[in-house]
C-alpha cells in the first residue's frame, strides 16, 4: 500500500498541477494574512475605543441610581475575533453592537417620567453607502471551501479512469495486491500531495500573522487553528473520495472531469445561496415598518392606560407605585417586541442555514465560523451575552435599591428609588466572551455530518472500484 | 469548410459535456430565476406601499415647512439578470429645500430581512459567468490538442484545406454548441418573467436583454478562445485540461476576490472626508452667524425663532450631521394647527423671518453641495472606479460591467435617479417661490387654511433610454470583442506555425 501511495506521491510531486496548486495556495494565504494584518488592529482599536466611550458615558451619568438605571450602561459591543481571517462569516452584515434604547419622556406632566433602558437590536446596513463591487472575502473558508475542493477534484479525476485509459490499471491489478489497498494507496497519495502545499501555505500564513506585533494569538487561538486545519483535511478527504468514486465508475477521464465539475459547480458554488434564497421565502419575519407600527400601537395603548388609570393626586404613594409600574412595563413591552422580531429573523436565517447543510461547503463554513468565533452563531451568542448582562444589570439596580432602607423601593420613578450615591465602578461591566465548549456543541452536528459524507463517499468509491471491470 | 463545420458540430453535439452544459445551465437559470422573480415582486410591493404612505403622509401635513416630500426608487426588473447596485443601495430619499439629496442620503424601504445578507446573492449573469466560462473551456481544451494526440490533425491537414478554415470551423461549431444552452436557458427565463403578472417588459427591455445576450456570447467566446490557445500551445490533452482549469479558477474565482481584498485597506479616505466636512461645517457656521445677525436686527430684538407663537403645534429646528457621508443640513420650521389671540400680532414677524431664512438656507445648501459633490466623488466614486477598472483585467469583470450597463443597474444608472431627485427638488423650490410659499402663513401655521399639496409637481423617473444604456455598455463590449480578436489572431499565428 505504501508503495502505491509513494508512487502516486512522486507522480504528483513532479506534475504541473502540484506546482500550480502550491503557487495558488501560497498566494491566497499570503493575501489573506496581509489583509488581516492591515485590518485587524483597526478593528481592535475601534472596539476598545467604543467600549471605553461606553464606560465613560456610564461614569458621566453621575452617581444617582435612578440615572444609571434609566439611561442604562450604554452600548454593548461585540468583541472582534482574532481568528477573523479564518472565517469572515458575513460579520459586516451582522451588527456588532446591541443598543440601549429609551425614550426621553413617556408621559406624566411635563415629561417627568422617562422611559427606562431596554435592549434594542439595531441592524447593520454596510452596503447602503458602499458602491464598490461586491466580492467574496478571501478568508480560509473561501480558500478551503472553494479552491481546495476544486484542487482535490483535479487531483483525483484521472486517478483511476486515467490509468484505465493508459492500460496501467490492468498492469497494476495483475500484481498480487488487493484492490482496496490500491484504492487506499491512491487516496493517501493524493491526500498527502495536497496536504504538503496546504500546510506550507497555512504555515506561511500563520508565520506572517504571528510575526506581527499588533496581532496576538493566544493558546486558545492556536488550539482552534489546529482544529480548523483538521476540519480542512476532513473536507479535503470528502472531495478526494468523490473524485475517486466518479473516476472509478466512469470509463473516460474527460467524462469523469465533466461530471465532477458539474457536481462541484452545483454543490459548492450555487447550492448554498440558491437553497438559502428558496427556503427563506417560506417565512416572512416582521419587517422594520411593521415593528415601528407595532411599537407605536403599544405606546399609544400604554399612554391611554396611563391617562385613564392614574390614581388621583391625593394618593401620592399609590400614584407613584402606578407610575413606576407604568415605566417598567413600557420598557418590558418594547423589549419583548424587539426580541420577537429578532427571534423571527433568527429562525428564518437558522432554517436556511440548516437546509444549506446539504452542501458540504456550507458545512465547512459553519464549522470554520464556529471555531473562529465569527458568523451567525457567534452573533447569537453575543446577543445571549447581552441579554444575560441586561438581567445582571437590572438585578444590580434592584439589589442596590433593596440595600437602602430609606428607599421606597419603587423602581421607575426618581423619588421612589434609593437616593444614595452609587459608585460607577460598582455597576457590572459588560464583557463579551466566547466559550469553546459552546462552539463545540454547535459544531458537533456539522462535524458528524461531514464525517458521514466522507465515510459514505469513501465506501462508495471502494464498492465502485471493487466491482469495476478492467 | 461546411463539411468541416458539420463534422465538428456533430462531434460536439453527441458528447456528454454538451448534454451536461445544457442540463446545468437550464437547471441553475430556472431555479435562480424563480427566486429572483419572487424577490423582485417583494421589492416592487414594498416600493408601492412606500409610495402610497409617503404621499399620504405629505398630504396629511398641514404646514409646508413640516411636510416631508420623499421620492422612491422603483426596483429595476432587469436586476433579475444582473442585480448590480439596484438592490443594496437606498431606495427612498427626502426632498428638502435645505439639503441637496444624493445616493448616500437614501434609505431603504422598511421591508428588509437583514440576516439573509450573510448568504451570497446570485443573479442570472453570475450563473453565466461561472457556468458558461467553464463549459467553454471544457469544449476547447481538446479541440487542437486532442486531434494532435490522436493523429487526426495530421490526417486532416493532408487534405487540401486551409489551416485558417480548420480553426474557423472549430470555433464556429463550438460557439453554436455553446449558444444552445445559453439561448435555451435565457428563453426559459424570459418565459418565466413574462409569465408572472407583475413584471412588464417593454420593447426597450427586450433590446436590453438582447444586449446582455450579445455580451454573454462575447464573454463565452473569450473563454473558448483562451481554451483554444492553451490547447494550441500545450498540445497534450491532459496538460491542456489541467492548465485550463487552473486558468479558469484564477480568472473567475481567485483574481476578482483577491485583487479587491488586497486593495481594500489601501483606500484611506478619512483625512479627505475630514477636510471636506469641516469646510461644509464652516459654511453652515457662516449661515448661522448671518442668521443670528438677522435676529438681532429684526423688528422685535432679542426674540427667539419661535417668536413666542403658541397654542396647538410645535416648532422644530435641527442640524443633522454625518461626517462619513459628509452630510450636514439644517431643517427648521413649525407646525401649528391653531394660533392663539396673543400670538396673532407676531405672525408677520415670523413670516418676515422665514422670508429671510429659507432663501438663505437654500443658497447655503447649494454652496455646500458643490464642495460635497466633489468630496463624495473623491471618497466613494473614485475608489469604486479603480476597483472596477482592476476587475476588468479578468473577462469576468468586463462582462459584469457590460451587463450591468445594459440592465441599468450600474452606478451611472442609479445616479440618474438621484439626478432626477435633485432636479425635482429644484422644481419644488421653484414651485414654492412661484406660489410665494416660503413667506406665506401656511409655511408654519394652518390656522387660516392648511397647506395645499395637490398642485405640487409630481416626481416621475423613467429609466434611462436604451441608447444611453448602449452607450455605457459599449466600451466594455468593445473591450470584450477586442480581446476576442486578439486571442484569435494569436491562436491563428500559433496554429499556422505549429508543426504537426
* Number of structural domains found in chain A: 1
Mind listing the pLDDT tens digit for each residue in A157-211?
A: 888 888 887 787 777 777 788 888 888 888 999 999 999 999 999 999 999 998 8
- Taking contacts as CB-CB distances below 8 angstroms, the residues of chain A near B382 are none
Q: Is A93 on the interface with B (CB under 8 A)?
A: yes
Eight-state DSSP code of residue A87: -
Closest CB from B35, B106, B114 relative to A123: B114
Q: Which domain holds residue A286?
A: 1-470
Q: What's the CA gap between B45 and B121, in Å, rounded?
A: 20
Q: Residue B223: is it exposed, middle or buried by C-beta count within 10 angstroms (0-12/13-18/19+)?
A: buried
pLDDT of the residue at B324 = 78
* Chain A positions in Cβ-Cβ contact with residue B104 (cut-off 8 Å): 129
Q: What is the pLDDT of residue A465?
A: 86
Q: Do the Cβ atoms of B113 and A259 come within 8 Å?
A: no
**Is B119 in Cβ contact with A273 (below 8 Å)?**
yes
Query: What ipTM was reported for this prediction?
Result: 0.87
Residues in B touching A258 (Cβ below 8 Å): 16-17, 20, 138
The shortest C-alpha distance from B42 to chain A (Å) reads 10
Query: Is the per-residue pLDDT at B303 higher than 60?
Result: no
Distance CA A420, CA A405 (A): 10
Q: What is the pLDDT of residue B111?
A: 59
Q: Does A277 touch chain B (CB under 8 A)?
A: yes
* H or E element, residue B422: helix B411-434
Please judge whether B32 and A270 are an interchain contact, meaning their C-beta atoms are less than 8 angstroms apart: yes
CB atoms within 10 A of CB B285: 10
Half-sphere exposure of A46 (CA within 13 A, CB side): 11
User: What residues contact A416, with CB distance under 8 A and at least 6 apart?
Assistant: A320, A321, A324, A407, A408, A409, A410
Number of A to B CB contacts under 8 A, please give it. 198
pLDDT mean for each 10 residues of chain A (470 residues): 81 86 93 89 90 86 81 87 87 83 60 79 79 85 93 88 80 80 88 93 93 81 91 94 91 85 90 87 83 87 82 80 85 89 90 90 92 88 90 89 82 80 83 75 87 93 81
How much is the pLDDT for B317?
Answer: 62
A147 touches chain B (CB under 8 A): yes
Instruction: List the single range of A313-327, B333-347, B411-425 with lowest mean pLDDT.
Output: B333-347
SS3 A395: helix
Residue A111: φ, ψ to 5°: 60, 35
CB B257 to CB A142 under 8 A? Answer: yes
pLDDT by residue (tens digit) across B178-192? 999 999 999 999 999
What pLDDT was estimated at residue B306? Answer: 58
Give how far A83 is from chain B: nearest CA, Å.
17
Arithmetic mean of pLDDT over chain B: 84
Whether the predicted pLDDT of B424 surpasses 90 = yes
Residue B311 pLDDT greater than 70, yes or no? no
Residue B254 and residue A259: Cβ atoms within 8 Å? Answer: no
Contact yes or no for A89 and B134 at CB 8 A: no
Do B130 and A131 count as a contact with CB atoms less than 8 A apart?
Answer: no
Please report the residues numbered 332 through 371 in chain A whose beta carbons come closer than 8 angstroms to any beta carbon of chain B. 345-346, 348-349, 352, 356
**Sign of the CA dihedral with A357 first, then A363, A367, and A369 last:** negative
Average pLDDT over residues B256-284: 83
pLDDT in the model for residue B301 = 52
The rounded distance, in Å, linking the Cα atoms of A338 and A344 is: 10
Angle formed by the axes of helices A179-211 and A436-467, nearest 10°? 150
Helical residues (DSSP H) of A14-77, grouped into ranges? 16-60, 65-71
Q: At a CB cut-off of 8 Å and minimum separation 6, what does B318 contact? A: B330, B331, B332
Rounded CA separation B409/B469 (Å)? 10
Beta-bridge partners for B334? B315
Cell of A144: 478551503
Nearest to B120 among A125, A154, A273 (CB): A273
Q: What residues of chain B lie within 8 A of the CB of A134, using their CB? A: 88
Instruction: Give B434→chain A minimum CA distance, Å.
Output: 35
B81-107 confidence digits (pLDDT tens): 998 888 888 888 988 888 888 888 888
DSSP per position, B339-399: E-GGGGGGHHHHHHHHHHHHHHHHHHHHHHHHHHHHHHIIIIIHHHHHHHHHHTTSHHHHH
Amino acid at each position: 500500500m505504501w508503495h502505491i501511495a509513494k508512487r502516486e506521491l512522486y507522480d504528483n510531486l513532479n506534475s504541473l498541477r502540484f506546482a500550480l496548486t502550491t503557487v495558488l495556495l501560497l498566494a491566497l494565504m499570503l493575501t489573506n494574512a496581509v489583509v488581516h494584518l492591515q485590518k485587524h488592529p483597526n478593528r481592535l482599536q475601534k472596539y476598545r475605543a467604543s467600549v471605553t466611550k461606553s464606560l465613560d458615558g456610564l461614569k458621566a451619568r453621575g452617581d444617582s441610581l435612578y440615572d444609571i438605571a434609566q439611561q442604562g450602561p450604554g452600548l454593548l459591543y461585540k468583541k472582534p475575533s482574532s481568528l477573523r481571517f479564518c472565517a469572515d462569516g458575513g460579520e459586516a452584515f451582522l451588527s456588532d453592537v446591541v443598543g440601549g434604547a429609551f425614550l426621553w419622556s413617556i408621559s406624566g406632566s411635563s415629561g417627568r417620567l422617562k422611559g427606562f433602558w431596554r435592549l434594542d437590536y439595531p441592524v447593520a446596513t454596510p452596503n447602503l453607502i458602499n458602491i464598490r463591487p461586491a466580492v467574496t472575502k478571501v478568508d480560509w473558508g473561501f480558500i478551503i471551501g472553494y479552491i481546495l475542493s476544486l484542487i482535490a477534484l483535479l487531483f483525483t479525476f484521472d486517478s483511476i479512469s486515467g490509468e484505465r485509459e493508459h492500460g496501467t490499471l490492468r498492469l497494476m491489478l495483475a500484481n498480487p495486491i488487493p484492490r482496496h489497498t490500491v484504492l487506499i494507496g491512491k487516496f493517501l497519495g493524493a491526500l498527502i500531495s495536497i496536504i504538503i502545499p496546504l500546510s506550507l501555505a497555512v504555515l506561511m500564513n500563520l508565520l506572517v500573522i504571528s510575526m506581527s506585533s499588533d496581532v496576538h494569538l493566544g493558546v486558545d487561538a492556536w488550539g482552534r487553528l489546529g482544529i480548523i486545519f483538521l476540519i480542512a483535511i476532513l473536507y479535503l478527504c470528502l472531495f478526494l473520495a468523490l473524485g475517486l468514486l466518479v473516476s472509478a465508475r466512469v470509463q473516460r477521464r474527460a467524462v469523469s472531469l465533466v461530471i465532477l465539475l458539474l457536481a462541484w459547480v452545483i454543490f459548492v458554488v450555487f447550492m448554498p445561496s440558491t437553497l438559502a434564497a428558496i427556503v427563506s421565502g417560506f417565512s416572512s419575519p416582521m419587517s422594520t415598518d411593521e415593528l415601528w407600527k407595532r411599537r407605536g400601537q403599544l405606546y399609544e395603548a400604554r399612554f391611554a392606560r396611563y391617562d385613564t388609570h392614574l390614581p388621583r393626586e391625593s394618593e401620592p404613594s399609590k400614584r407613584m407605585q402606578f407610575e413606576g409600574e407604568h415605566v417598567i412595563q413600557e420598557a418590558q413591552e418594547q423589549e419583548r417586541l424587539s426580541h420577537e422580531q429578532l427571534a423571527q429573523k433568527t429562525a428564518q436565517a437558522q432554517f436556511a442555514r440548516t437546509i444549506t447543510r446539504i452542501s458540504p461547503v456550507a458545512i465547512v463554513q459553519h464549522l470554520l465560523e464556529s471555531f473562529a468565533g465569527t458568523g451567525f452563531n457567534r452573533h447569537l451568542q453575543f446577543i445571549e451575552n447581552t441579554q444575560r448582562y441586561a438581567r445582571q444589570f437590572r438585578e444590580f439596580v434592584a439589589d442596590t435599591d433593596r440595600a437602602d432602607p430609606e428607599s421606597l423601593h419603587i423602581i421607575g420613578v426618581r423619588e421612589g428609588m434609593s437616593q444614595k450615591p452609587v459608585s460607577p465602578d460598582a455597576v457590572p461591566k459588560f464583557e463579551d466572551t466566547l466559550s469553546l465548549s459552546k462552539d463545540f456543541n454547535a459544531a458537533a452536528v456539522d462535524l458528524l455530518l461531514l464525517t458521514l459524507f466522507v465515510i459514505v463517499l469513501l465506501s462508495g468509491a471502494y464498492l465502485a472500484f471493487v466491482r469495476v471491470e478492467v | 469548410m461546411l463539411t468541416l463545420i458539420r463534422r465538428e458540430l456533430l462531434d460536439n453535439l453527441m458528447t456528454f459535456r454538451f448534454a451536461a452544459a445544457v442540463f446545468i445551465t437550464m437547471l441553475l437559470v430556472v431555479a435562480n430565476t424563480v427566486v429572483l422573480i419572487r424577490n423582485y415582486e417583494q421589492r416592487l410591493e414594498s416600493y408601492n406601499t412606500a409610495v402610497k404612505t409617503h404621499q399620504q403622509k405629505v398630504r396629511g401635513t398641514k404646514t409646508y415647512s413640516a411636510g416631508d416630500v420623499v421620492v422612491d426608487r422603483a426596483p429595476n426588473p432587469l436586476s433579475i439578470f444582473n442585480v448590480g447596485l439596484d438592490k443594496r443601495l437606498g431606495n427612498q430619499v427626502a426632498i428638502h429645500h435645505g439639503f441637496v439629496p444624493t445616493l448616500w442620503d437614501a434609505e431603504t424601504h422598511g421591508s428588509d430581512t437583514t440576516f439573509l445578507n450573510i448568504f451570497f446573492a446570485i443573479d442570472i449573469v453570475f450563473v453565466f459567468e461561472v457556468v458558461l466560462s467553464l463549459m467553454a473551456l471544457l469544449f476547447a481544451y481538446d479541440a487542437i490538442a486532442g486531434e494532435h494526440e490522436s493523429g487526426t490533425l495530421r490526417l486532416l491537414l493532408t487534405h487540401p484545406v486551409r489551416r485558417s478554415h480548420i480553426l474557423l470551423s472549430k470555433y464556429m461549431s463550438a460557439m453554436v454548441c455553446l449558444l444552445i444552452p445559453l439561448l435555451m436557458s435565457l428563453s426559459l427565463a424570459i418565459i418565466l418573467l413574462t409569465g408572472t403578472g407583475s413584471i412588464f417588459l417593454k420593447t426597450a427591455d427586450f433590446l436590453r436583454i438582447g444586449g446582455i445576450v450579445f455580451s454573454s456570447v462575447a464573454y463565452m467566446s473569450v473563454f473558448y478562445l483562451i481554451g483554444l490557445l492553451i490547447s494550441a500551445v500545450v498540445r497534450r490533452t491532459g496538460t491542456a485540461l489541467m492548465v485550463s482549469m487552473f486558468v479558469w479558477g484564477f480568472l473567475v474565482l481567485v483574481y476578482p476576490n483577491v485583487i479587491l481584498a488586497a486593495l481594500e485597506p489601501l483606500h484611506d479616505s478619512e483625512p479627505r472626508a475630514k477636510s471636506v466636512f469641516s469646510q461644509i461645517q464652516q459654511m453652515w457656521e457662516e449661515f448661522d452667524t448671518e442668521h443670528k445677525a438677522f435676529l438681532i436686527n429684526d423688528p422685535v430684538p432679542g426674540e427667539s425663532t419661535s417668536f413666542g407663537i403658541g397654542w396647538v403645534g410645535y416648532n422644530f429646528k435641527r442640524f443633522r450631521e454625518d461626517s462619513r457621508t459628509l452630510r450636514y443640513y439644517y431643517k427648521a420650521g413649525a407646525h401649528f394647527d391653531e394660533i392663539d389671540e396673543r400670538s396673532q400680532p407676531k405672525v408677520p414677524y415670523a413670516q418676515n423671518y422665514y422670508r429671510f431664512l429659507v432663501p438663505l438656507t437654500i443658497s447655503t445648501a447649494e454652496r455646500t453641495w458643490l464642495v460635497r459633490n466633489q468630496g463624495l466623488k473623491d471618497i466613494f466614486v473614485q475608489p469604486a472606479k479603480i476597483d472596477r477598472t482592476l476587475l476588468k483585467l479578468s473577462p469576468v469583470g468586463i462582462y459584469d460591467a457590460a451587463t450591468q450597463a445594459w440592465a441599468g443597474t450600474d452606478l451611472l444608472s442609479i445616479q440618474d435617479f438621484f439626478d432626477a431627485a435633485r432636479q425635482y427638488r429644484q422644481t419644488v423650490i421653484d414651485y414654492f417661490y412661484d406660489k410665494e410659499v416660503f413667506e406665506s402663513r401656511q409655511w408654519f401655521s394652518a390656522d387660516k387654511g392648511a397647506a395645499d399639496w395637490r398642485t405640487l409637481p409630481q416626481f416621475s423617473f423613467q429609466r434611462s433610454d436604451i441608447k444611453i444604456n448602449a452607450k455605457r455598455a459599449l466600451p466594455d463590449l468593445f473591450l470584450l470583442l477586442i480581446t476576442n480578436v486578439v486571442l484569435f489572431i494569436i491562436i491563428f499565428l500559433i496554429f499556422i506555425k505549429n508543426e504537426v
